Structure 1
Amino acid sequence: MADDLMDEGTVCEGAYAALPHLVEAAAELPAERFVDFWVDVGLVVTAEDRAPVPADLEAGFNAALRLAEQAATRSFLAAGAPAAVCAHLALSCVAFAGHHTAEVLWRFLDPQESHLVVLCRGCGTETEIPKFFVDPVHPPFEAPGLPDPARVRQGEHLWGEVAAVLREEALGEGWEPFLRVARAVAAAGVPPETSGQAVLCLVAGMVAAKGTPGWAGMEWARKLMLLTGNFRCPECEQTWTIADCLVEDPGGAQPLSRPEQAWTAADGPTVAVPAAARRPGEAKNVLQRDGQVLLDPDGTPWGRVRELSESAPSSGEGVTALAVVPGPDGPMLAAGAGDRGVLCLWDITGGRLLHDPLPGHPDRIRSMTALPLPDGRVLLASGGDTGTIALWDPVTGQPVRAPVANWLGAVTGMCAATVPDGRTLLVTATPRGAVRLRDPSTGESVARLNPYGRPIASIAALPVSAAHTLIAASDAQGDVHVWDPAVDDPRDPGAAVPLSKRALEDFRHRVAVVAAAPVHGRTLLATGDRNGAVILWDPATGDPVGDGLPTDTAGNPLTAMTAATLHGGRTVLVTGSNQGRSLRVWEPESGTVQHIALDVAVTCVAAADSDVLVGHDSGVLCLSLSV
C-alpha cells in the first residue's frame, strides 16, 4: 500500500487519508523491520509534487507525522542499517520533525559518486562540482556554529536518545566539533528554525553512529559532513551554504556577507581535500621494504621479505599463478610463469628450488591448485590459457598425466572439492561460464555447476566440514554464487546458502575476488570488490560478519586475495593490487590494517601459515609476517 502513495514523485490523491492508518499499523510492529517503510513515508512527506493537505485531514495527518517521527527514530535506535539506507532514514526522521532540510532525500545523494549539483539561491544557476565527495583525512573547513540553546522544541520526541548515541570521537581527530553540533541539534529536538548546516551535521552523525558496516558508516558520514560547507557561485560570485543550495525553499537563506572557505566548480574547495584520504587507524602505517626487512615508518622491523630464486624464467608477463602444496618436508610453492607455461617448485622454508623449472605445459598457466587424494597423496593441478589441464607429482616434479585439452576455454580458476562420499574432485572454471567437477584420475567431467552459465571471474573452495566442501565463485557482473558439489542437480542448492542479496545491494558490493578465511574457529567466505572493500560472510546463513575492510583509499583495484594464519592462530586477509603495486594486510578480529609498498605489480597471492607468497611481474616474493 505504501508503494501506491506516490507515482514517479507525485503524491497520489488519497495519500493523506491512507497514510495515517499505515503509520499507525507500522508503528506497532518491530522497529528494525520497517526502516524502508519509514524512508518511503519520508519521500512522500518531502515530495516536490504534493498538494496541500486538505483541511479536514490536516489534524490526523499531523498526528501521523508525530507518530512516524517516534517510530522512525525507534527504527534508527533499534539496529544498524546499511550506510546508504541509514542516511535516508536519518533524513526521514528529520522530515517527520518538520525540518525543510529533509528535502535532500530527493537528491538521492550518493557519496560513492564524486559529483554534486547545487543551485545558487542568488542567480538560479545550477552548477556541478565534479570532485566533491572525497573522504577527507581532516575537516577542510570549520564546523558550523552551535544552534541557539534557547531554541528547544517542545513536546514528546526521542531525539534525546539519538543525542546519546552520537559520540564526538566517532569520526576521528578534527571532527569532534561537527559531532558536538550534531548532538546539540538532537538534544534540542531538531527545531524547525535550526540551520540546514547544523541539521546535516546531525544526519551525518547518525550515519556514523548506526551505519553498517562500521567502516562504511564512517566513510559516508565524513563525506556527508562536506555538505555542511559553503559554495561560491561562478556566475554571481556570491557564497552560500551548501545546505541552502540543496533544497527548494531553505527559509530565509542569505548569502554570506564575508565569504569564507568555499567550494567552486572548477577546482574544488579552497582548502585541499585529498581523494586518497586516510581512515583512522588504517593508512598511518605504510610498511616499506628495506632489503630483506619490512619496516614500520618509525623503523621498527615488522616482517621479512625474500626473493625466491629463478622465480620467473623467460617470463613474458611474470608469474601468472601460485599454489601451496603440502610436502613431506614442509609446504612447497608452485608457480606458473611465462608464455609457455614454465612451472617452478620451491621449498618455502628454505627458499630453494626443488627441481629445475619444469617445461611441458603447452600454454600459459592461468590457474593452479593442490589436490589432496583419499590415499594420502597430494597432486598439483594446473590449467592453461587454451584450456589444457595437467596433473603433476610435486615431490618428483614429474607429470602424472600429460596436459589434456579442454574445449570449454581457458581454465582461469581451480580448486579442490571434497564430497561426503569420500571423493576429492577437481573443480575448474572458465570465463565462458563452464564450471566442471572432474575425476582427478581421468580428468573427465563428472558433473557441472553454474547452471546459468555466467562467466566466472574467481572461484574458491569453502570447507564446511572435514568431508564436505562448498564452492564459491564471483562472476563477471560482480555477483556471488555458492554451490554444493555433493548434489546431482546443479540447481539444487543442497547445503549451499546464497549470500544476502539485500546486503550485497546495500553495500554496493560488486565482487571481483573470493577466498576462504578461517576466523574464530570456522571458515568464512571473503569477498573483495575492485575498489578494495572486503566483506566476510557466514556460509551457514549467507549474512555478513563484522564490519569488513574499507575500500582502498589510494584507489587501487583489488586483483588478488588470500588468507594467512599468523602465530597464535590469528587470521589476516591479504589483498593485492597489480596497479597499486602494494598489499594490504587486514586482521578481521582487531580491525587493524597495514599497507605494504612492494614496488612490483602484484599478479597473484598465496599463503603458507604466516608466509605470504606474492607473484609479480618479475618473480615471487616470500613475506614472513611472524615478526
Structure 2
Amino acid sequence: MLLATAWQQEISLWAPGERERFGEPLRLTDGYVTAMAPLSRPDGSTALAVADSGGLWLFDPGAPESTGSRLPTVDPRVWSMAALPLPDGRTVLATIDEGDALRLWDTDPADPDATTAGPSLPQVALVELPDGRVLAATDDDGLRLRDADTGSPVGAPLLAAGEQAGALAAVRLADGRELVATGDRHGAVLLFDPVTGDRVAATPPAHAGPVGALAAGVSPTGAPMLVSGDSRVLGWGPDGAPLGPTSATGYRERLSASAWLPLGDGRVALVLGTSSWRGDGELHLVDPVSGKRLIEPVETGNVAALAVVPRAGGGATLAVASRPDHVWCWDPDGSGAPTLPVEGVRALTGFRHDGRSLIAAGGKDRTVRVFDSATGSTVDCGPIAARGRVTALATLPLPDGRTVLAVAGGRTIVQWDPIAGRPVGRPLAGHTDVVQALAVLPGPGGATCLASAGADGTVRLWDAATGAPVGAPATGHTGPVLALATVARGDGRSVLASGGDDRSVWLWEPSAGGLSGRRITGHQGASDHLTAVPLADGRVVVGAAAGHYSPAGTWLWDPADRSDRPLADGLCGPLAVVRLPDGRSLVAARHRDRLLQLYDPNTGRAVGRPLPVPFADAAQLVAIPTPAGPRLAAGGSSGEIRLYDPVDGRAVGRLPGGDDDSRADLAVLRTEDGRRLVAAGDRHGVLRIWDPVDDRCLSTLSLDTRIWSLAARGSRLLVGCAGGYLALDVDPGPR
C-alpha cells in the first residue's frame, strides 16, 4: 500500500512508515492537481486517477516515467472523485465537476484503446457511392472510410496518421461522382475516390511562411531539381512538378540562405542556413532528395548568405556569412580554409579568375571586398561601391569574355569589372524598392541575362551586354520577392525560379518579350474550408478557403485541369454555396471585417449587400434551402447562431449560444417530409435541432462528450466527438 500526495504538477508516492519517496514522482505536463483517487483494475493492479485543470488522467504508479492515459471529459474541471465498486464486480470512477454534475466513468472499456493519451478530435463527412451506399470519412486514425452504421473500417486508410490536415468534406463533381476532399500536412488539397481509394487530384504543396531560400542543381540521380524553403524544404522538378518535401520534418527556425554544393565523386549536398530573432541560426548539410543529414547541424549564429566557390580541378569551397562579424570557408574534403576579415556581410558570390578562386562579400557599409578563398588575403579590385546597403551579388559573364560583378544596393544594380577596377556601363535602375536578389540565366538567342527581384514585388530581366531591360517587369507575387534561382532543364534551356514573402514560388520562362510565369506552389491554409462550387458552364470546382489569420484567402480550384484563381480579395473561410430561386449558385464567404458577402463564382463580383455578423470569428457557415427561399446560418465561437436571408440581406433568426468556449458546428438535415433542419453541436456536448423556418429549437440532447464536428445526409446525422463518432437518426416529429 502506498500514500499519494500532490503539490501543483507533481505527485509523490510514499510507503507507510518511510521518510523517503517511493520511486520517482509522477509529473503532469500541464495544469495543477485538483483531485486523486486509487482505482482497482480487473487484473489486480491499482491505477491512480488524477484530475487536473486540463482533464482526467489514469497513471500506473509502477511506471512513473509514463505520461498517463487521458479520459475524454466534457468539463475538464473535476473537483472531487472516488472509486465506486459495482455489484457485477467492476469498479467505476465517480467524479463531480465544476458544473456540479456527478459522472460515472468505466475506465476498462471493451476497447483497450479507448483511453489512450489525448482525446481524438475527429472530423466527419458523409460520402455517397454510386451503388447508393453511404460511407463516413473520418480523421481519427489518419483519413479512412468507415461504415456509417457500424463504424467498421472500409478498405485501407486514404492517408496515414499524421498526414491529414485541414477540413474534411464530400464534394460532388459535374460527372456525378462524389469524392472525399481534405488537406495534407504539406498544404495541399487532395481529392480521393471512395470506391477505389485512389487519390485522383491534388493541388501543389504550399509553404507556411516567406520563401527565403531557393537553390537549384542536379540531384544524385542526374535529374535537374529545385528546392524552396521557409522553415521546411519542398522539392520541384524543372517543369514545376512537385517532388514532395525533402525532409520528414521542418527546421526550428526559418531558412535564410541555401546553396547546392558538389562533394566530389558525383555526390552533392544541399546546404541550408537558418536565422532567428534570437540570433541562434545553424548550418545544415542534407541530401537533396531524402533530406537526411550528412553532418550534424553547425551552430553558426544567423546565416545571412552562402556562396559556392569553384576550385581548380573540380570541387568547391563553401563560404558562409554568419552574423554579426565574419565570413568563414569550409572545404568538404577537410582541407584547411580561412576565415575572412570582414564584418556585416549580407551578400556573397564566388568566381574564378586567373587560376584563383575568389569570394566577393558585401554588406551594410555599401562596399564590396574580394578575397582569395585559399589564403583569405584581400584582392585589390578597386573601390567597389553600391548605391545603398549591399543586398545581393552575382557573377556575370559578358560576351567579350570578361567576368563582372553585379552589385545590388538600394534600388539600383552596379556592374563592376574586378580586374580593371572600374564600373561597366550605367547602373541598372527601374525597381521602385530595394533589390533583394540576383541571378544569372541564359536568355533568348543565346544571350546572357541578369535577373533581379525586388521588395516592390517584381522580377526584372536585363541584357548583360547592353544593360537594357528585356521586356516589362514580371508581376505575380503579392509581396516582396526574396530569392531567385536558375533551374536548368534537360533540353538545354533554363527557367528562373522566384520565392516571395507571400509564401509562393513562381517559375518564369525568359523570352525576347521578357518573363512569363506561373505559380507552382499551392495556397497555405486553403484547405481549412472546402466545398463544391457549380459554375455556369457546367463545371464544378472546389472552393478552398483559409482561416481568418491566413493570407492565402479564398480560391477556386478546377480538379480537371489543376488551374486555380482567387475568388476575391480580403476573404476567408468558412464557405457555403447558396442556390437562388433564379437558378444561380453563389458563394457566401466571410470578409475579415465581420461581414458575410455573396459572390458570383463565374465573375468574382460581389452580389447584393454585405450581411453584418455580431462575432469576428464566424467559424461555421451553411446554406439552407427553405420554402421561403435560401437561408444562411452562421455560427461563432460562443455557440451563437445567426440566420440570414441572403436575398433580402437581413437577419431573420437567432439561436443563443453559451460561453466563449462553446463553438458550434453546423449541419443541414432533410427530414422524410422534406423539411430542412439545422443541427448545431457545441463543445459542451449539447446537440440542438433547429427549425430555420419557424426560428425555434425543436429538441436538445446532452451528450457525455465534447462535440467537434457534424455531418448529415438526409435524416442521418454523424456527430464527431472525443473518441470517435456517433450515428443518429433524427426524427423531429410532425410540424
What is the TM-score normalised by the length of structure 2?
Answer: 0.34
Flag the structure with higher strand content.
2
Flag the structure with higher helix content.
1
Over alpha carbons, which structure has the higher Rg? Answer: 2
- Where relative contact order (Cα < 8 A, 6+ residues apart) is larger, the structure is 1
